[in-house]
Amino acid sequence: MSTLLEKISDLNDLVLQGKAMEAFERYYHEDVVMQENETKPTVGKAANRRREEEFFAAITEFRGAKPLKVAVGESVTMVEWHYDYTHKDWGTRNYTQISVQEWRNGQIVLEKFYYGV
């Protein structure tokens, strides 16, 4: 059985390889809840899959992503990411985001993203 550090490291590596949806399928629970800052959470893997696919489809130029810091606790991981891309609706985005994941039985059941707008 992999440790949470191994799991979050593999997830991050998949994202960096352009395989974010593969990471999503591998590491996210069927009942996952995902939330951007204080917006209404998206519940369930199917709804979050659609949300993620729509997000990636709207990227018109991707200049980079880099995990800056990773923290692991008891059933929780946190990653500080730096992103640089252009989105068809939001324009140029160059920012730092904190992603906090709660894990159960080796899968993410809750993920919340914190970033400035």
Residues 100-112: tens digit of each pLDDT: 999 999 999 999 9
In the predicted model, is pLDDT for residue 1 greater than 60? no
Residue 29: alpha-carbon gap to chain centroid: 13
Residues 42-52: tens digit of each pLDDT: 999 999 999 99
The DSSP element (H or E) to which 5 belongs, if any, is helix 4-16
In the predicted model, is pLDDT for residue 94 greater than 80? yes
DSSP secondary structure letters along 7-47: HHHHHHHHHHTT-HHHHHHHHEEEEEEEEETTSPPEESHHH
Contact criterion met (CB below 8 Å) for 83 and 93: yes
Average pLDDT of the chain? 95
Helix/strand/coil for 88: coil
pLDDT-based confidence at residue 99 (cuts at 50, 70, 90): very high
- What domains appear along the chain, each with residue ranges and CATH number? 4-115 (3.10.450.50)
Contact criterion met (CB below 8 Å) for 4 and 103: yes
Contact criterion met (CB below 8 Å) for 28 and 48: yes
Segment 33-37 mean pLDDT: 97
DSSP state of 84: E
Q: What is the pLDDT, as a whole number, of residue 48? A: 98
Residues 22-33: tens digit of each pLDDT: 999 999 999 999
Nearest alpha-carbon partner for 68 in 50, 89, 82: 82
